[in-house]
């Protein structure tokens, strides 16, 4: 006997907001993200680490619910002053693993986790009597904080 037919709930306000941020016509070799065009340094902060501002042209991706009229060369705009940026998927995967500017990423997170927990050896946060590893991890975070872009 097969599984019962899938029955999806009716769309809610949350679903409708999500639909407005949906991008259609995406290039499968790219990763897309909406960024605030006005605050936190705008798209320039993202361009500095490899993202590209997407601009309207024939065949370009677009917001499912476009905001206003766009001319060729205009940034692709979504809701609430957001603009669309993209980067090649291969670069995105590399940055997710290694981070930007030599800090962050999954490699750094894994290193900090090993420092905190000392898996299989005790110590770290697993042993409250030995706070040295937790102190070292806090220092790593403090050092990285100084290197992160502020957007301004």
Q: Convert the pLDDT of each residue in 107-126 to its tens digit.
A: 888 888 877 776 555 554 54
pLDDT band at 86 (very low <50, low <70, confident <90, very high): very high
pLDDT of residue 68: 60
Mean per-residue pLDDT over the chain, rounded: 75
Provide the strand spans (E) within the chain.
23-24, 30-36, 52-53, 62-63, 82-88
pLDDT band at 44 (very low <50, low <70, confident <90, very high): confident
Report the pLDDT averaged over residues 29-46.
87
In percent, how much of the chain has pLDDT > 90? 14
Alpha-carbon span 78 to 62, nearest angstrom: 8
Helices 132-147, 105-117: crossing angle, 10 deg rounding: 160
């Amino acid at each position: 006997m097969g599984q019962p037919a899938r029955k999806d709930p009716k769309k809610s306000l949350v679903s409708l907001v999500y639909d407005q941020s949906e991008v259609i016509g995406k290039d499968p070799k790219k990763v897309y993200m909406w960024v605030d065009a006005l605050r936190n340094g705008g798209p320039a902060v993202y361009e500095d680490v490899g993202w590209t501002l997407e601009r309207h042209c024939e065949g370009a991706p677009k917001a499912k619910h476009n905001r206003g009229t766009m001319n060729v060369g205009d940034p692709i705009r979504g809701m609430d002053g957001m603009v669309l940026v993209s980067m090649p998927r291969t670069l995105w995967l590399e940055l997710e693993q290694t981070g930007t500017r030599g800090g962050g990423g999954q490699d750094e997170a894994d290193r900090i986790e090993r420092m905190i927990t000392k898996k299989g050896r005790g110590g770290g946060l697993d042993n409250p009597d030995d706070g040295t590893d937790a102190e070292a991890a806090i220092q790593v975070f403090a050092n990285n904080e100084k290197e992160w872009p502020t957007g301004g």
